Amino acid sequence: MYKRIVFKLSGEALAGKRGFGLDAERVIEITNEIVEVRALGVEVAIVVGGGNFFRGVAEHAKEMDRVSADNMGMLSTVINAIALQDAIEKHGVQCRVMTAVAMDQIAEPYIRRRAVRHLEKGRVVIFAAGIGNPFFSTDTAASLRAMEVKADVLMKGTKVEGIYSADPVLFKDAVKYDEITYMEILKQGLKVMDLTAVSLCKDNNLPMIIFNMNQPGNIRRVALGEKVGSIVTS
Ligand code: UDP
């Protein structure tokens, strides 16, 4: 079992079958699993994306200034974070949202030592607004925060079973890797997480696990150290 995890949750995962915005049922399903993991004694931090509302690089944003578009993307992650916090607190589990962009009336500012203290006290911490800078992704935020709070693993939930040699939805002969190195991902340009995030994990030797989060119970299985999905190490 891992002591402290950072779980990267994409915005898309919260949209469920709707494909856009928030699917209340999916939010409840996911947070039920997160609360279950917390109850086992694992310290849980979540980095949430915002793609279910807005991405700076989206086609419909291409006429926009990239910085403005990315600011909108970062704000989308805050909406998701508040929805997750609300669903987690319904279980009586304490949860704090910390944002990389100051918005004191809505959430706490991200302060590393305070985040670590929350985790030590058993609170679920949700990191929102990415790293607070445009031209980055929440994948990179997840690896950065994982390093900062000294997490044991970075977990990323996806729609497929793990890392494949090619997109398994498009290529039926794609091979799944149970284990793979950071270097292989970078060399093959595999679209697992953005390359900045992978490089950061590589430089700091932080294991990453990519797994299917649509399979009920998988979040718990990964947190308990069961062999699920693909693990990335050096
Ligand atoms: N974003 C940003 N800086 C960050 C993190 C995110 O500008 O540090 C913006 C960027 O526009 C991104 C959007 O927020 O497209 C939503 O994040 P992301 O695409 O990573 O969300 P996900 O794909 O995980 O839902």
Q: What is the pLDDT of residues 76-126, one digit of tens each?
A: 999 999 999 999 999 999 999 999 999 999 999 999 999 999 999 999 999
Helix (H) or strand (E) holding 40: none
Residues with CB under 6 A from ligand 1: 10-12, 49-51, 55-57, 69-70, 73-74, 76-77, 130-131, 133-134, 136-139, 141
CATH of the domain at 50: 3.40.1160.10
Residue-wise pLDDT for 202-215, tens only, equals: 999 999 999 999 99
Q: Whose CA is nearest to atom 22 of ligand 1?
A: 49
Atom number in ligand 1 closest to CA 139: 20
Q: Can you give the residue range of the structural domain that contains 163?
A: 4-233
Per the structure, the count of domains in the chain is 1
Rounded distance, CA 154 to CA 192, Å?
A: 13
Average pLDDT for residues 52-61, to the nearest whole number?
Answer: 94
* Ligand 1 center from residue 111 Cα (angstroms): 20
Nearest to 152, CA basis, from 113, 220, 208, 218: 208
* Ligand 1 center from residue 40 Cα (angstroms): 30
Half-sphere exposure of 106 (CA within 13 A, CB side): 18
Percent of the chain residues topping a pLDDT of 70: 100
From the centroid of its chain, how far is CA 34?
12
